[in-house]
Amino acid sequence: MVSRVIPVDPFDLVIFGGTGDLAQRKILPGLFRRYCSGQMPVDARIIGAARSEHDSAEYRAFAAQAIREFSGGRRCEDGTLDDFLNRLEYVTIDARGTDGWEQLASLMRDGVVRAFYFSVAPALFGDLAQRIHEHGMATEESRIVVEKPFGHDLASARALNRTLATHFDESQIYRIDHYLGKETVQNLMAVRFGNMLFEPLWNSQYVDHIQITVAETVGVGGRGEYYDKSGAMRDMMQNHLMQLLCLIAMEPPAKFDPDAVRDEKLKVIRALDPVLPHHIVRGQYGAQDGEHPSYREAVGNPRTRTESYIALKTHISNWRWAGTPFYLRTGKRLKARSSVINVLFKDTPHSIFGEEAGRHANLLTIRLQPNEGITLQVTIKEPGPGGMRLIDVPLDMTFSDALGPEEADFPDAYERLIMDVIRGNQTLFMRGDEVEAAWAWTDPIIAGWEARNDVPKPYDSGSAGPTDAEMLIQRDNRNWRGITP
Ligand code: NAP
């Protein structure tokens, strides 16, 4: 099976923050991979822009180093890297000053797509939008890509939306949530809406509950100062987990079109019940064998009350989901790196095989990382003589097994999303009203902690999180699925 790669239209892509960590680890290597795959047209151009003084030759050397280190060993024909690097330019620019803007404007070509990637601190998003506009670079073919975090709360997200809207139309604003660029996340929609099998069962009559887990083994690393002002609720729950929840719970859109999909996602967020205080557990990781610092040590704040873990139960008040709980959890320094959605179906109403055969329920597991794939657990007879004993076995579709290693060498989320920007497809990007609705749900939860001076529960690094999170689900006679790599 060989997939066809269709080149995108010619483009000028400006990466503001072109020397930063994200550009180095994701954006430049991702663009190189797309170049190798033949998706980038020969007349595409990439312009790095930041305050540091470099010329284009130095920037190419920087990009070559980043690609060698972070492009996942992608092999290309000889000379391809040099060809790719020849498409790179660099402009020294200050988002808040006047330096470099005239030069950048003079580099922009007419008649090609213009994309401006805001890979800088969010405080600069408004300045960049304003200057792009002032220097006449905001044409009809222009679009801006805005990194997370999009606001810190509802008020700041609204203010940012208003600022961007003074310079760009909503159809030109691409708010990135890289979770939406993951292959399995899109497959989730294909599985739900491309098969007759699941949709009739996709409701509270047949689904007992849904678990969404995004577990990381890393701590806050060098992001301590930023993270401590944010926490797991703002950094992960309000965006990544919320987006996954939307895709799993939304009604079928009439078509796979940006606004049709985003309208349905928005309805899910608006139908979310407020979360009761006893339906949330916050946690903070401790030190690990003297090897890794505790959360408090890592952020250099011995009294911090910011959470590095959160688990919560929520409900969606609509016809489809009334009565089906959604359990969401995410945290750092957990026992394995694993992003997984589990759809746990109800037990069969009656066992014709007698009590000793036990009750069995189907489980659909959607693995986002690692080992992207989908597994459906079904009940069969245990092979061999000895009566009718039942066992649960997985129907496993690990993509690398099912499709072969070549086909399963998916584009990384960033590279896919950047190509969507060039193609002008906003389906996998968050719309302004979606982001605001997500903050409107999140804000009262955070305000509640602040009003109660809530202190996160400690948990061991390398564990599954605080024991209170186990209680949260066990009170409902359910259990979390294991966190496994
Ligand atoms: P970073 O490593 O601190 O890089 C920031 C970049 O912005 C540098 O290239 C810096 O270069 C440039 N810059 C700073 N001030 C500037 C100014 N006044 N004018 C022009 N350029 C300026 O940050 P990052 O980790 O790459 O993150 C960039 C954005 O992506 C942030 O919004 C972050 O929240 C988001 N993000 C990052 C990651 C990640 O994995 N890194 C993940 C998700 C989201 P100079 O100092 O030379 O100007």
Catalytic residues, by residue number, are 240
Report the C-alpha gap between 228 and 302 in whole angstroms: 11
Q: Is 135 in the pocket of ligand 1 (CB under 6 A)?
A: no
Most informative mutation of 14, 15, 16, 21 for ligand 1 (most atoms within 8 A of CB):
21
Q: Whose CA is nearest to atom 37 of ligand 1?
A: 22
Q: What are the φ/ψ torsions at residue 75 (nearest 5 degrees)?
A: -95, 135
From first to last of its 485 residues, the chain has per-residue pLDDT tens of: 445 688 899 999 999 999 999 999 999 999 999 998 899 998 899 999 999 999 999 999 999 999 999 887 666 666 789 999 999 999 999 999 999 999 999 999 999 999 999 999 999 999 999 999 999 999 988 999 999 999 999 999 999 999 999 999 999 999 999 999 988 888 899 999 999 999 999 999 999 999 999 999 999 988 899 999 999 999 999 999 999 999 999 999 999 999 999 999 999 999 999 999 999 999 999 987 777 899 999 999 999 999 999 999 999 999 999 999 999 999 999 999 999 999 999 998 888 888 777 778 999 999 998 888 899 999 988 888 877 888 899 888 776 676 666 555 667 889 999 999 999 999 999 999 999 999 999 999 999 999 999 999 999 999 999 999 999 999 999 999 999 98
Just give the CATH number of 180-410+431-474. Answer: 3.30.360.10
Number of residues that make up the chain: 485
Extract the annotated binding site: 51, 148, 178, 182, 216, 235, 332
Q: Is 239 in the pocket of ligand 1 (CB under 6 A)?
A: no
CA 243 / ligand 1 centre spacing (Å):
24
CA 29 / ligand 1 centre spacing (Å):
16
In the chain, CATH 3.30.360.10 covers: 180-410+431-474
Report the C-alpha gap between 11 and 18 in whole angstroms: 17
Q: What separation, in Å, do the N-terminal and C-terminal C-alpha atoms of the chain show?
A: 28
Q: Is 51 in the pocket of ligand 1 (CB under 6 A)?
A: yes
Q: Is 96 in the pocket of ligand 1 (CB under 6 A)?
A: yes
How wide is the angle at C-alpha 364 spanned by C-alphas 359 and 367, nearest 5°?
A: 140
What per-residue confidence (pLDDT) applies to 407? 56
Extract the annotated binding site for substrate: 178, 182, 216, 235, 332
**Other residues' Cβ atoms within 10 Å of the Cβ of residue 314:** 19
Report the C-alpha gap between 275 and 305 in whole angstroms: 20
Q: Is 54 in the pocket of ligand 1 (CB under 6 A)?
A: no
Report the C-alpha gap between 342 and 328 in whole angstroms: 10
Most informative mutation of 98, 120, 216 for ligand 1 (most atoms within 8 A of CB):
120
Atom of ligand 1 nearest to the CA of 94: 19
What per-residue confidence (pLDDT) applies to 183? 85
Report the C-alpha gap between 187 and 190 in whole angstroms: 5
Q: Whose CA is nearest to atom 44 of ligand 1?
A: 148
CA 48 / ligand 1 centre spacing (Å):
12
> In sequence order, what E strands does 286-429 have?
309-314, 326-331, 338-347, 361-369, 373-381, 390-398
Give 90's contacts (C-beta < 8 A, 6+ positions apart): 18, 47, 48, 49, 54, 55, 56, 58, 59
Q: Is 83 in the pocket of ligand 1 (CB under 6 A)?
A: no
Query: Exposed (0-12), middle (13-18) or buried (19+): which is 96, by Cβ within 10 Å?
Result: exposed
In the chain, CATH 3.40.50.720 covers: 11-147
Extract the annotated binding site for NADP(+): 51, 148
Q: Which CATH superfamily is domain 11-147 in?
A: NAD(P)-binding Rossmann-like Domain (3.40.50.720)
How remote is the C-alpha of 440 from its chain's centroid? 19
What per-residue confidence (pLDDT) applies to 71? 81
Q: Is 52 in the pocket of ligand 1 (CB under 6 A)?
A: yes
CA 137 / ligand 1 centre spacing (Å):
21
Q: Is 20 in the pocket of ligand 1 (CB under 6 A)?
A: yes
DSSP string, 400-439: HHHHHHHHT-PPPHHHHHHHHHHHT--TTSB-HHHHHHHH
CA 310 / ligand 1 centre spacing (Å):
27
